[in-house]
Structures are given as C-alpha cells and as structure tokens.
Structure 1
Amino acid sequence: MDRTIVLCTAALLAAGCAPSSTVRMQQAVSVRETQKVEAKMTGPKRRIGVVDFENKTAYGAQRLGTSASDILITELVKSEKFIVVERDKLNKIMEEQKLGQSGIVDSVTAVQVGKILGLNAMVTGSISQFGVKTGGADYLLTQSKQQVAECTVDIRVVDVETGQILYADAGKGVAKRGTGQVLGLGTRAGYDETLEGESLRAAIAKFTENIIWQVNKKPWSCRVAEVDKATIYLNAGLASGLNVGEKLKVYHLGREIKDPTTGLVLGNIEDEIADIEVVRHFGEDGSIAKIIKGTPPSKNDICRLFK
C-alpha cells in the first residue's frame, strides 16, 4: 500500500513538472451577432481610411481604440480590395484643418478629411463594452484559473461623397485563456494583455467582407488631380488597379441636393464634360489620361468607369 501511495505521488509530481500537462493554455475565440456576407469587389480598388476608434469604456484608455483600428486596417489590407490610407496622413490632415481636436472623429469630420484625401469611404468606430473576468477552482491537488475578455465594437462606414452612412454594425468578441497547477507546480498567470487583442479581433473578424459588400454598391470613382493643357492626371493608377486603356467619364460636381425632410445630402448636380482614356501610369498610384471627347476637366472633377 505504501509503495502504491509513493508511486502515485511521484506520478503527480512528474505531471506537475511536465510542461505538456501542467501548463494548459486553452484559447477560444468566438464572434456573435455580426453575420459574414460573401462579397466580390468589382472594378479597381476603393480608397478608404480608418480613424482611431473611440474607447467609451473605462478600461484601457486610448490604447484599446488604437488597437481596434489597427486590427481593422490589417484585415482590410489583407483583403487586397482597398487602398487603405495610412493613419499618419489622416492625423496630419486633421491637425492641419483643426478637425477632431476633442479626440473623437464623428461622421461629419470623417467626410471632411475623406474629401481632402480623395477617399471613397471612411470608417469610424467605438468600443462600447469591454471587460475581463477571472475565475478558477481549487481541488485537493490541482488549481485552475481562467481569464475571459469580452468586448463589443461598433463601426460605421461613411460615404465621403454624400456623408451618408453606408454600413453600421456591432460585433461581440470573446477570448478565453486557462492555466493550471498540480501540487503547486505549473503556471501562476497574471493578467494576460494578449486577451485584449484576441477579443477585439474576434469582434472585428467579420466586418471586412461586409464593408467590401457595402462599399462595392457604389460605382467606383477617382478624381482629377491636375490638368496640364490636354493631359489629365488622375489620383488612381497601378496600385488601385486602374488599367491602361480604361475609359472613364468625367463629371463636374455642382451644388448639393438635400433631402427636404431630413436635410441629408442625396448627391450633387452633375455635368458630364468629357470622356477620357488612361494612357499610362505614373508614381505609386497615379495615371495620365487623354481626352477622347468633350472639354478639358478641372481639378477635383469626378471620374467614373464606362458602364
């Protein structure tokens, strides 16, 4: 009997010393509410910007907001469907124009910044809920501990041309991690900050396809960046996927048309002024076009692909 007890104790001690059995890192990530929509982007890439998300919780200060926007930017870039403008450029414009000085970027500010940078859409967002719960259990020979991070992320995709909200959604994310000890041996885990990122990524995971689907509803467009006699310079080129030989119609945007009831901008009066053809690319994402019909356009006129 004594020999049996000794052997059992030794086995437990050995188990407590073996990393494979004493350190049990269990991770689970889930997403609820947001439904993923399969999306196919047509035409060249859209230009999109993502501002730092607002952290409405009492947890993590601005760190959480920056982390959330970083995750979404990464997912949008990985999709290879967008030209994502760097945050530094967005911040520089906001600083120069004295926009978003409160640290919060609303839809109106997003549209102003987006127009300056020639974007098709801007994404704003907030973290409306975040919390970490710790639980555990003590048994005769073992102890276990589990940390659970939960968050809710809200996003809005704003059409820069009209200021209308193309897409609004909320995603919930949960990340879990467990540790264990046997006879005092194993891992005594403190707070694991990686849970923050895992729960945020879980909440944001399905936004990307939905953003692609919603932004793709509007016709692709670019802007006239400069005009030099008969040479037209466009703010889209190789990186955007605008091909040499592509034909576009150019429109001059007139005054805004507003809904008389809501005051929302419905669009602009548009005058078709020219047909142009892309003849070559220049720089990282620019192109040069020639006029094939009509009159020379002006800087900032809008260009759309032939239907």
Structure 2
Amino acid sequence: MWSALVLAFSLLVAAPASNAQAKPAAPAPAAAPAQAAVPAAPQGRKKRVAIFDFDYATVQTSTAALFGTNVDVGKGISDLLVTDLVKDGTYSVIERKALDKILTEQNFSNSDRANPTSAAKIGKLLGVDAIIVGSITQFGNETKNTNIGGTGGGLGGFGIGGFGKKKSKAIVAVNARMVDIDSGEILGVADGKGESARESTSLLGGGGNWHGFGAGGANFGSSDFQQTILGEAVKSAVDQMSTGLAANNTKLQTRTINVSGLVAAVEGGQIILNVGGK
C-alpha cells in the first residue's frame, strides 16, 4: 500500500517538471529588416560659364602711364578670375581657346566686352548657361616720396637719381556681371576692391619702370607680380569678386537645350534621327 502511494506521489511531482521541460521555448523576436543604404541623389551638372576679358577703357590712360605702354589689364583680370573660379569648383568654366575661337569668328571687338547683349549672343554659340562680363573702374597707385639728394618722384616711382623712402598705396576696383544668354538679363553682380600699402627704402632711378615692370605685357598670375604692392591689390580685388560670383550660383538656372529633328529611318529596332540644320 505504502509502495503504491509513494509511486503515485512521485508521478505527480514528476509530471509538472516533465511538462515544463517539454514546453517549447518562446520564439525570439524577429530581427528588424536591415535598411538598404539609400544612394545619394545624383547632383546636377555644374553650370557652365564663359568669362570675357574685362573692359578697362576707364583706366587705360593711367595703366599705360603706369607700365610705360598699353597693357591689356582687362585680360589679366579675366585670367585671374578664371583661375579662381576653376579652383572654387562652383562653375564649369569654358576653356580660353574655345572662347577666343568664337570671338575671332564673330569679329568681337574690345568695345563689346562689357555689353550684355553682345555677350549673350556669343554665349549661345558656346552653349553656356551664362556669360560673365566686367569692368575695371580703378587701377593705380598713390605714392609719397621723401627724397635725399635727388629730384622728386611722380606716379609709380618715377624720379631722377636720389635715394629715398617711399610709401606706396595701390588701389584696384573691379565689378562683374553675370548675364543670362537667352534674355540678356543681368542675373547677379559682384564687386571687388583691393588695397595694399607698403613703406620701403628704394633706389629711385630714372625711367618708367613701376615695381620692376617695363614696356610690354605683365603676367598678373606670376609670383613676381603678385608680390608687388599692385599685385597684392589686384589679387585681393579678384578674390573678393570671385567669392561674390560663386555666391550667385543659385540665381543661375541650368539651361534646357531643345533639339528638334526628323525621323530619317527605322532599322532593326533603331531610330535614326536627322537633327541637322539647313
């Protein structure tokens, strides 16, 4: 009897344990699906611009006196601006050779450099989004000399003999306009004004050289020029103007070029279009 009761009690105790062991484990929560990397939206192409040589008619007389000959300072400023904008990367700048080729073919004159309407026509031929034209409104220096044993110096360090202390101040002012090639509308403007002053001891010899530049052209991008007082002022003015033009990027819309043509043939699942002009 006692054996039967012990056996029954043992079975009752073992049953819950057996049931607990047989109970299946709760399923682990499903892992959240991995999120696929979302590719960055493709950026649109850079807006294409062409930069004309700057008009320098306002300062032509003073620059000729400064350098001793007629130097195209408008081209020098334009070349520096091209370099700045290419380095900045905001715009795609048309190569100089391509621009010069079109200007030659169209008999583009220096007097049209700052003319938005003329510039817009050239821009259409180049297929750019905008043309940048500009003017040089100030380009020169202010010089004060204290001479010892020689006659006074004038503009740009001219003098006869003598040894003296010279304080020179160069001032360069430029402005640029971004022109829509379809309407000729001015979309944005940018200005730059650079000043540089330096006091130094110098030999004031006779002749017309200004800071080492004589007759002929001057390379504004050269390190020799940019280390001069005038070169520092030029670079400062162009850098300011370049920054302003880059900020005008949002005002310029990328042009949509519509091409019309005729279906010339359909061969083997391919359509051949004739988009030539008469």
Within a 5 Å distance, the mapping from 1:54-93 to structure 2 comes to: 54-55=55-56, 56-57=58-59, 58-60=61-63, 61-93=70-102
Distance 2:240 2:234 in 1: 11
Structure 2 unmatched runs, 5+: 1-42, 64-69, 149-162, 214-224, 265-269
What is the deviation of 1:216?
2.5
Q: Which residue of 1 aligns with 2:203?
A: 188
Asked if 1:197 is matched to 2:200, the reply is no
Q: Indicate how the Cα distance of structure 1 residues 162 and 129 shifts in structure 2: closer, same or farther if over 3 A, else same.
A: same
Q: Which residue of 1 aligns with 2:138?
A: 129
Q: Which residue of 2 aligns with 1:17?
A: none
Asked if 1:217 is matched to 2:222, the reply is no
Distance 1:225 1:210 in 2: 34
Structure 2 residue corresponding to 1:148, chosen from 169, 181, 187: 169
Distance 1:112 1:168 in 2: 19
What is the deviation of 1:220?
2.5
Partner-residue secondary structure (3-state), 1:53: coil
Q: Which residue of 2 aligns with 1:49?
A: 50
What amino acid is aligned across from residue 72 of structure 2 in structure 1?
R
What is the deviation of 1:177?
3.2
Within a 5 Å distance, the mapping from 1:148-167 to structure 2 comes to: 148-167=169-188
Partner-residue secondary structure (3-state), 1:44: coil
- Is this contact kept in 1: 2:175–2:241, CA < 8 A? no
| Aligned residue-pair number | 188
Structure 1 residue corresponding to 2:195, chosen from 170, 174, 187: 174
What amino acid is aligned across from residue 124 of structure 1 in structure 2?
V
What amino acid is aligned across from residue 51 of structure 2 in structure 1?
V
Higher strand share: 1
Q: Which residue of 1 aligns with 2:19?
A: none
Distance 2:111 2:241 in 1: 27
Distance 1:79 1:71 in 2: 12
Q: Report the TM-score, using the length of structure 1 for normalisation.
A: 0.52
What amino acid is aligned across from residue 62 of structure 2 in structure 1?
Y
Q: Indicate how the Cα distance of structure 1 residues 161 and 212 shifts in structure 2: closer, same or farther if over 3 A, else same.
A: farther
Partner-residue secondary structure (3-state), 2:53: coil
Q: Indicate how the Cα distance of structure 1 residues 228 and 179 shifts in structure 2: closer, same or farther if over 3 A, else same.
A: farther
CA offsets 1:28-49 (integer angstroms, 9 cap, x no match)? xxxxxxxxxxxxxx63211111
- Is this contact kept in 1: 2:130–2:252, CA < 8 A? no
Within a 5 Å distance, the mapping from 1:18-57 to structure 2 comes to: 43-55=44-56, 56-57=58-59
What amino acid is aligned across from residue 49 of structure 1 in structure 2?
A
Partner-residue secondary structure (3-state), 1:99: coil
- Flag the structure with larger Rg: 2
What amino acid is aligned across from residue 170 of structure 1 in structure 2?
D
What amino acid is aligned across from residue 139 of structure 2 in structure 1?
F
What amino acid is aligned across from residue 55 of structure 2 in structure 1?
E
Higher helix share: 2
What amino acid is aligned across from residue 46 of structure 1 in structure 2?
K
Q: Indicate how the Cα distance of structure 1 residues 297 and 70 shifts in structure 2: closer, same or farther if over 3 A, else same.
A: same
Q: Which residue of 2 aligns with 1:24?
A: none
- Is this contact kept in 2: 1:48–1:85, CA < 8 A? yes
Distance 1:225 1:197 in 2: 46
What is the deviation of 1:222?
5.2
CA offsets 1:243-283 (integer angstroms, 9 cap, x no match)? xxxxxxxxxxxxxxxxxxxxxxxxxxxxxxxxxxxxxxxxx
What amino acid is aligned across from residue 198 of structure 1 in structure 2?
E
What is the deviation of 1:211?
1.5
Q: Report the TM-score, using the length of structure 2 for normalisation.
A: 0.57
- Is this contact kept in 1: 2:90–2:246, CA < 8 A? yes
CA offsets 1:169-213 (integer angstroms, 9 cap, x no match)? 332211223322xxxxxx426621533332222112122232223
Name whichever of 102-111 and 220-229 sits farther off: 220-229
Q: Indicate how the Cα distance of structure 1 residues 154 and 209 shifts in structure 2: closer, same or farther if over 3 A, else same.
A: closer
Distance 2:72 2:52 in 1: 13
What is the deviation of 1:62?
4.5
